[in-house]
């Protein structure tokens, strides 16, 4: 966002992560494994979301450079 690129892409955003953790903690009262599963899903999808956002930012900067006539590096 500091580069003036809106980056709201990704398979899981903060509200979904919080909801998933809350559900995992609620179910974890009866099934301890639910918390571990929720954390694993959050970690895996968070990693994928980070990769998607990096690619999106790179793509936007590349497109801006082409539009400005600058050779991208």
Q: What is the pLDDT of residue 65?
A: 78
Q: What is the pLDDT of residue 27?
A: 95
Nearest Cα to Cα of residue 26 among 13, 17, 38: 38
pTM: 0.75
Helices (H), the chain: 14-27, 33-68
Residue 43 pLDDT exceeds 90:
yes
Q: What is the pLDDT of residue 1?
A: 63
- Residue range 27-52: mean pLDDT, rounded: 94
Assign residue 12 a region (left: φ > 0; alpha: ψ between -120 and 50; beta: otherwise). beta
- Residue range 18-23: mean pLDDT, rounded: 95
């Amino acid at each position: 966002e500091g580069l003036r690129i809106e980056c709201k892409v990704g398979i899981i955003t903060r509200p979904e992560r919080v909801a998933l953790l809350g559900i995992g903690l609620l179910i974890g009262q009866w099934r301890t494994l639910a918390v571990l599963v929720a954390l694993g899903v959050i970690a895996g999808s968070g990693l994928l979301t980070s990769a998607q956002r990096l690619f999106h930012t790179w793509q936007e900067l590349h497109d801006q450079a082409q539009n400005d006539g600058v050779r991208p590096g």
